[in-house]
Structure 1
């Protein structure tokens, strides 16, 4: 019992001593005021080592570099996504070609990069199907030009009868349907190569007494996007209005996919900087 009483008295004594102790004066003598050294010049500002102009320039350069690097990363990822999509079963249709126009100038497919292409394969001696399809293609291009969503399209006619369809003959023939169209011809090997790449079947028939013949061939219009990639095809059963609707849809999707690269980059920048960047 005496042990517990002694312990309680000792604890009360400790509490009284602690209350008497002045924590505010642990650094030295009574009421001693401690002062820290002051900087004579500010860090920021005209007289400081770092000016606001320097901070602004550094910020702009840093933001620009981040934007560029993020855009490159996003663009590379988009290319990889397209490549994976292509490898997963997309039809291997289309590709580069090199043919001749009406002035015997070499025309390469690379020259049309940045434009949509609507390509039709046929021959100038075709009695009815080719004229009907080319008139339809001319109507499609004319109607597309009236649409706001249209980003420009080039109509192209490629002959499947190089023995008779010289570059001049093809040029004269296609201009009867539209002055905006480009007619292309070439050697037998060149025509065979481009037809193979677009999966176009063609076969000259037997010659009659006048050495005239019909070429049996695929009746399809091919749509190629501004990056030179085959996107869609339209058979003889499609009307001009239906083709226009399909092409406008593809143009819209293409524009959205391209715009997503920039928007995704800006979203990443916004999340890093905390500031909202808006593009028109």
Structure 2
């Protein structure tokens, strides 16, 4: 059997195949680098969403305080606001939630100082005048600011805060009707950004612990000390 020299073997790695290999390799490298960049970008988005991604709760509003002044979203800035939506004719849930907020505020102020702003927003504008809210709030924490406005103004704020309420739009003060509404205490940071929503089942201790964690994390992220 005769043997063949190297010149008799087919040339597999020709200049043409080398060029194809090089182009293919560069294409794969670009593809994988692009995919890696996409993965890193998504990971960064996921990290950011985990740290900052919260529901879009809150926004501009203008209502009247229980003392007759004007109150807007700008008045929420500078302190940690706790915002609750209810009404003075509420037989049990609202008083219980406002009492709970008072206990949380007293305990939180001892730990963090006077950095909190409790707000009560009436979802019954037909019956809750500023003077009526002023009398109502005397039974609760003295730091509360009560807010009320026209039906449309209240509806706009409730929409911004994703709050449901069933007050009839054309209700009159003498009408007899029931009001159903969302039961949440909204925690807003000193920049007016939504941080947490505490439902009816959340206890005082649970609220305090979550607020402690949220405030600590916020200080770390913003570099603030207060």
With normalisation by structure 2, the TM-score equals 0.71
Q: Which residue of 1 aligns with 2:101?
A: 137
1:90 Cα deviation from its structure 2 partner: 3.3
Pairwise CA RMSD of aligned residues?
A: 2.3
With normalisation by structure 1, the TM-score equals 0.58
Of 55, 65, 84, the match for 1:101: 65
Runs of at least 5 residues in structure 1 that lack an aligned partner in the other structure = 1-80, 263-280
Distance 2:76 2:134 in 1: 18
Q: Which residue of 1 aligns with 2:165?
A: 202
Contact between 1:150 and 1:251, CA under 8 Å: does it hold in 2?
Answer: no
Secondary structure of the corresponding residue to residue 220 of structure 2: helix
User: Are residue 127 (structure 1) and residue 91 (structure 2) matched?
Assistant: yes
Contact between 2:64 and 2:70, CA under 8 Å: does it hold in 1?
Answer: yes
Count, aligned residues? 174
Q: Which residue of 1 aligns with 2:35?
A: none
Q: Which residue of 2 aligns with 1:251?
A: 215
Q: Which residue of 1 aligns with 2:119?
A: 156
Distance 1:217 1:116 in 2: 23
Q: Which residue of 1 aligns with 2:41?
A: none
1:96 Cα deviation from its structure 2 partner: 2.0
Contact between 1:151 and 1:251, CA under 8 Å: does it hold in 2?
Answer: no
Q: Which residue of 1 aligns with 2:138?
A: 175
Of 214, 236, 259, the match for 2:178: 214
Q: Which residue of 2 aligns with 1:49?
A: none
Runs of 4+ in 1 over 6 A off after TM superposition: none
How is 1:31-42 mapped onto 2 (pairs within 5 angstroms)?
none
1:119 Cα deviation from its structure 2 partner: 0.5
- Summarize deviations over 1:217-270 as a string: whole Å, max 9, x none: 00110000000000110000001111011111111111111228x9xxxxxxxx
Which protein is bigger by CA-based radius of gyration? 1
Contact between 2:54 and 2:194, CA under 8 Å: does it hold in 1?
Answer: no
Of 77, 83, 96, the match for 1:113: 77
Distance 2:201 2:144 in 1: 22
Q: Which residue of 1 aligns with 2:56?
A: 92
Secondary structure of the corresponding residue to residue 146 of structure 1: helix
Runs of at least 5 residues in structure 2 that lack an aligned partner in the other structure = 1-44
Q: Which residue of 2 aligns with 1:23?
A: none
Distance 1:89 1:142 in 2: 29
Distance 2:114 2:140 in 1: 22
Distance 2:195 2:203 in 1: 18
Secondary structure of the corresponding residue to residue 178 of structure 1: coil
Contact between 2:58 and 2:160, CA under 8 Å: does it hold in 1?
Answer: yes
